[in-house]
Amino acid sequence: MPREITAFSNETVKRVRSLRDKKHRRREGLFLAEGLRILTEAEEVGHLPEILFYAKASAEHPIVQRLTAAVEDMGGDVIETIPDILHKLSGKDNPQTVIGVYAERLTPLKAIDRSLADIWIVAQSLRDPGNLGTILRTGDAVGAGGLILIDDCVDPFSVEAVRASMGALFTQSIVQTRWEDFVPWLREGPGQLIGTSLNTDTDYQTPVYDRPAFIMVGNEARGLPPEYEAECDLLVKMPMRGKADSLNAAVATAVMAYEILNQHRRA
């Protein structure tokens, strides 16, 4: 049976609220996800929260009832609470009616099977959680195998990144690694590394892309470092007809991913 918590001083509430901070997420190995849509998409691919909070007013919702039963069946903790506590947990003025606490799901680089997908996405020093979440969503949309985060990227399990991913966090493998480890791994097998860059004259629609294709996007402000560009098999850029000199990192990733997907479909 769900237990009821209405006190802000409750230890579980304080512990879960601390997961909004990266330091505590790392220590606990847990992160927050909000909303029926995201929790349902996680359930559909086999991921259930270890702790489920829901607002008392939504207790009769069929999805909440199904999630409650599933979490209880696996031995998880189900908590009925009040909107003010959900607000305290999520940090949003209008919190979702459900919040789940999940185990972090990083995949070691060596465990990646590149043959499982024709497209993989690589992000180097990405700093914006909204961009990271959107890239995860793009990866899901094009059937990518996952997102490989190089060097010091924003935390993929931050509340903002999880929210922006719209559930794609649970469908994509996520790797965190260093450049000096990624390059030898990549060169051990098939895979074309494609960098998006302003330092090239090659239009992104000109090359024929191999399978698997690894799309690499750099930091939002600085792009890819020169030594990273030098390692790429291809550098490409999108035509910019207006005053802007570049696209947003997540938008550029989506444009590249769909170009490669469409090439593969036509082939």
123 shares a domain with 84: no
239 shares a domain with 196: yes
225 shares a domain with 117: yes
Residue 48, domain CATH? 3.30.1330.30
What crossing angle do the helices spanning 249-266 and 129-142 adopt, rounded to 10°?
Answer: 10
Give me 71's structure tokens.
């979490």
49 shares a domain with 83: yes
73 shares a domain with 187: no
Q: Which domain holds residue 214?
A: 109-266
182 shares a domain with 136: yes
pLDDT in tens, 117-164: 999 999 999 999 999 999 999 999 999 999 999 999 999 999 999 999
pLDDT in tens, 2-43: 999 999 899 999 999 999 999 999 999 999 999 999 999 999
What residues contact 230, with CB distance under 8 A and at least 6 apart? none
162 shares a domain with 45: no
58 shares a domain with 186: no
Q: Is the distance from CB of 240 to CB of 246 less than 8 angstroms?
A: yes
* Final residue in a domain of this structure, among 103, 133, 163: 103
Whole-model pTM?
Answer: 0.93
* Final residue in a domain of this structure, among 103, 132, 166: 103
93 shares a domain with 132: no
130 shares a domain with 80: no
